[in-house]
Structure 1
Amino acid sequence: MDSPVSVKVYYHGKVLLQTPEGVQFVCRNPCTFAVPFTISFEELNGAICQSIDSPRSKKVTSILYRHPLLIFGGFIQFQTMYITDEASMQKMFSIYHQVQSQVSVIELYVEFKQLPLVVEEPDPIKEWEGYNSESEEEFDSNYEIVDSNEGRDHVYSTRLTLSQNHSKLNSDTIAEAIKSLVKADPSLKIEEVQSRFNYMISYRKAWLAKQKSIEKVFGGWKSSYEVLYTWFEAMCQKEPSAAVEFESIIPYDGNKIAPDVRIFNRVFWTFYPCLRAFKHSKPIVQVDSTNLCGKYKGTLLVAVSQDGNQNIVPIAFAIVEGETSDAWYFFLSRLRKHVVTRDGVGLISNQHDSIKSAIARSNGAWEPPRAFHMFCIRHIASNFLRRFKVPSLQKLVVKIGSSKTMREYNMRYQKLHEQGEIYTEWLDKIPRSQYALAFDEGYRWGCMTTNLVECINSVLKGVRNLPVTALVKETFNRLNELFTRKRAEAEAQMNVGHVFSEFVITKLQAYQRAAGNIQ
């Protein structure tokens, strides 16, 4: 890391979210310069200002770093992170060091603030009428009159700092100021909202500002529930083969049912390309959940599969009240009804009791011989570590589960047993067929974890921070981009005469080389 790295700065442009490669920066005249890895965060700010020939008149207020995320099957999706201090800058350099073979420059999108803010001298009565409630002390602490040279008008300039809990910098003002940031990244952290301003705003004020800003960009939190059914109805008219199921709660007014009123409870949806894709994918399903982070609580449930080229295949979604047995039963029963219609399927999940309960209630739909429920080995290892606090043995548990042969399994199991019977007794409470590759009868298809779901959650980064209708729209838009790209890749392979996928071809070539070395 001794040689300088090239930095490309975009400014006064746009941050495009919905492109085939993910986030993209655009501006008229980006500038490029080199910096050493030993540069400080303050020096980086100065170098950025100097690179656009405005070191004195501008102040950097926001730095957004664009970096690639490698998904299964070679799929690269560009994402962003904010650079706010020394720690985040060093993380940026660390990421660059890992991906520099794919991306040769560090791309930054920078926002500036003009310094000082100079305006025409206002009418002292009309312009400042709204500030009459302020005391002279408050006025003096926030504004100053700057004398100019003789023969020129006076100018007013605001100082860079405001007093704590200043009444004029309310959540509405902050919401308007951060709209561009929220549009670029709805998962913007509250700490990053606070760092945008030159004084410490309260966490609550920053949180309220973020919610209001999201509402301005993506629609109202409450009204989003009201239009969700209408949006799905319109979508199904255009795509009749899509599957959508709502579940609502009937409210009561005293002892009587409230007429023409329904309360949203759950919704399941899948798109026609997802239905078609699963028919040509491996008979394996991974499910997981992620909490919604917006104004209202809820949980997003996701199911994915994998095709013959190791690509992620998203197949279904649901918004539910939380990880309850009823919520998982709602999701898994609809998944079985609309998407996973064939038998002999492997289902991989964590060990959450609500999932186990839902499967027990499935009337055999997710039990042998129709389906085979197995656990993510990483979650098992995490539970082991939480129980015994022995990191070295946690790795051994992962190796036991990942053993490909019974001989390998028995050797590693014995090592764990030698460390203490209490460890193997804990592991024995889990059926071997549900965590060990050597005993899975092939239903895992080599998948030991729920990483596929976590990868698609990365593709859907930020959606859990949105109002529900905007969230659903984003699943539609981003999956459209994903399937369009993968279709183009598959067509390109077929056009050059490939019969098998690239992954299979690579494997066959490796086996041929290995066979040629046998004496």
Structure 2
Amino acid sequence: MALGASIRGWRHCRPVVVVDGTYLNGHYGGTLFTACTQDANNSIFILTFGIEDTENDRSWTWFLGNLKKAHGDREGLCFVSDRHNNIKNAIGNVYPGACHGICSYHLLQNLKSRYGRSGHNVTQPFNAAIRAYTLIEYEYHMQELYAINNEVVPEKWSRFHMPRNRYSTMTSNIVESVNAVTKSAKHFPVIALLESLWQTTQTWFCKHKDTAQGAFTTLSSKYEKYIRAMSTVMRNFKVSPINQSTFLVSGETSSFIVNIEQRTYTCRTLQVNQLPCPHALATIASMKMDPYDFCSYYYTREAYMNAY
């Protein structure tokens, strides 16, 4: 089940799809497959639902094949899921050009159950490593993990090593949220279940459309607040020109090189998030440029409105 509103709005959301399957509790059993993403205000944007007997290569290939048929493909497409081999295999078959990232929360739980008994806290170095923007930062926190256990392998979960941009979607929590909201409906027969899911999607879409129409800022409200918060932090940085387009941005504890023409920053925050970080904002302000020109379309009020 893919609603027309979801199909039309998808191209105005970031090209990151989170997928998961959950058991149905009704008389006939079965599995509910869900695919969703996030809109310009980071709200959950439901793409499609599917129902199958169980999770295997065939069922996930069927679900993702129908997802592709309804929503098409996207440049830079990235999937996020738990470490389910059936999902991995299906993505490779249906979306051979897409990237597949592992949910960091599920992987952390696996690490904690396996290595947590040693008395070491793996949470802090793990979360720092997966969110690292630079190789130096990543390797520093990986050394902390290796000190706990040198068998930890950074397969598909590090932001730095992802070949495609997964933006800020490091977990599959948005699908888990949908599963929690639709928990009672999982006891219904199939037709009633689909009607309930349809009503939930419709309700959310109406709510977010009203919110989008009530915004009068360039970005959505969440990212407008982010930019304004970063604008206060940027005052702690000093900008020194190296040449016409390259600048040294210095703070109390760190320095970064910024190329304003190529929009490359050695902190890599802008390249990954496609939002100006404090170092970028300091440089943009010194050049008297518009910071909104450096924000991705996917964070704008226009994208928020167009999605609904």
Alignment of 1:30-429 (within 5 A): 269-362=1-94, 365=95, 367=96, 370-390=97-117, 392-395=120-123, 396-419=125-148, 423-425=149-151, 427-428=152-153
> Aligned equivalents of 1:505 and 1:320: distance in 2?
41
Q: 1:273-293 CA distances to partner (integer Å, 9 max, x unpaired)?
A: 111121110110000111001
> Aligned equivalents of 1:282 and 1:339: distance in 2?
13
> Aligned equivalents of 1:294 and 1:376: distance in 2?
28
Q: 1:222-268 CA distances to partner (integer Å, 9 max, x unpaired)?
A: xxxxxxxxxxxxxxxxxxxxxxxxxxxxxxxxxxxxxxxxxxxxxxx
1:383 offset after TM fit, Å?
2.2
Which structure has more RCO (C-alpha within 8 Å, separation ≥ 6)? 2
> Aligned equivalents of 2:146 and 2:212: distance in 1?
48
Label 1:410 to 1:483 Cα distance change in 2 as closer, same or farther (>3 A).
Answer: same
1:321 offset after TM fit, Å?
0.8
1:458 offset after TM fit, Å?
2.7
Paired residues of 2:78 and 2:100 also in contact (CA < 8 A):
yes
Paired residues of 1:292 and 1:465 also in contact (CA < 8 A):
yes
1:446 offset after TM fit, Å?
1.3
* Partner residue in 2 for 1:490: 212
> Aligned equivalents of 1:371 and 1:358: distance in 2?
11
> Aligned equivalents of 2:126 and 2:163: distance in 1?
20
* Partner residue in 2 for 1:140: none
> Aligned equivalents of 2:111 and 2:236: distance in 1?
42
Higher normalized helix content (fraction of residues): 2
1:461 offset after TM fit, Å?
3.1
> Aligned equivalents of 2:237 and 2:113: distance in 1?
46
1:318 offset after TM fit, Å?
0.4
1:402 offset after TM fit, Å?
2.4
One of 188, 195, 211 as aligned partner of 1:473:
195
Alignment of 1:6-45 (within 5 A): none
Q: Residue 199 of structure 2 aligns to which amino acid in structure 1?
A: N
Label 1:397 to 1:516 Cα distance change in 2 as closer, same or farther (>3 A).
Answer: closer
> Aligned equivalents of 1:315 and 1:377: distance in 2?
22
Paired residues of 1:393 and 1:416 also in contact (CA < 8 A):
no
Q: Residue 84 of structure 2 aligns to which amino acid in structure 1?
A: H
Paired residues of 1:286 and 1:452 also in contact (CA < 8 A):
yes
> Aligned equivalents of 1:328 and 1:349: distance in 2?
12
> Aligned equivalents of 2:207 and 2:127: distance in 1?
34
Indicate yes or no: 2:176 matched with 1:454.
yes
* Partner residue in 2 for 1:506: 225
> Aligned equivalents of 2:120 and 2:191: distance in 1?
45
1:340 offset after TM fit, Å?
4.0
Secondary structure of 2:61's counterpart equals helix
1:393 offset after TM fit, Å?
4.2
> Aligned equivalents of 1:347 and 1:308: distance in 2?
18
Q: Which runs of 5+ in 1 are unaligned?
A: 1-268
Report sequence identity in percent. Answer: 27
Q: Which runs of 5+ in 2 are unaligned?
A: 239-308
What RMSD, in angstroms, separates the aligned Cα atoms of the two structures?
1.8
Label 1:517 to 1:413 Cα distance change in 2 as closer, same or farther (>3 A).
Answer: closer
1:506 offset after TM fit, Å?
0.7
Paired residues of 2:30 and 2:53 also in contact (CA < 8 A):
yes
Label 1:502 to 1:321 Cα distance change in 2 as closer, same or farther (>3 A).
Answer: same
> Aligned equivalents of 1:441 and 1:352: distance in 2?
20
Q: 1:37-78 CA distances to partner (integer Å, 9 max, x unpaired)?
A: xxxxxxxxxxxxxxxxxxxxxxxxxxxxxxxxxxxxxxxxxx
Paired residues of 2:77 and 2:164 also in contact (CA < 8 A):
no
> Aligned equivalents of 2:45 and 2:199: distance in 1?
15
1:491 offset after TM fit, Å?
1.0
> Aligned equivalents of 1:289 and 1:498: distance in 2?
37
Q: 1:11-34 CA distances to partner (integer Å, 9 max, x unpaired)?
A: xxxxxxxxxxxxxxxxxxxxxxxx
> Aligned equivalents of 1:439 and 1:350: distance in 2?
17
- After TM superposition, the runs of 4+ consecutive aligned structure 1 residues lying more than 4 A away are none
1:517 offset after TM fit, Å?
4.1
Q: Residue 59 of structure 2 aligns to which amino acid in structure 1?
A: A
When structure 1 is superposed on structure 2, of 300-309 and 391-400 the one drifting more is 391-400
Paired residues of 2:102 and 2:171 also in contact (CA < 8 A):
yes
1:343 offset after TM fit, Å?
2.4
Q: Residue 318 of structure 1 aligns to which amino acid in structure 2?
A: G
Paired residues of 1:347 and 1:371 also in contact (CA < 8 A):
yes
Q: Residue 416 of structure 1 aligns to which amino acid in structure 2?
A: L
Q: Residue 408 of structure 1 aligns to which amino acid in structure 2?
A: E
Q: Residue 355 of structure 1 aligns to which amino acid in structure 2?
A: I
> Aligned equivalents of 1:353 and 1:288: distance in 2?
12
* Partner residue in 2 for 1:24: none
1:403 offset after TM fit, Å?
2.3
Label 1:312 to 1:415 Cα distance change in 2 as closer, same or farther (>3 A).
Answer: same
* Partner residue in 1 for 2:160: 438
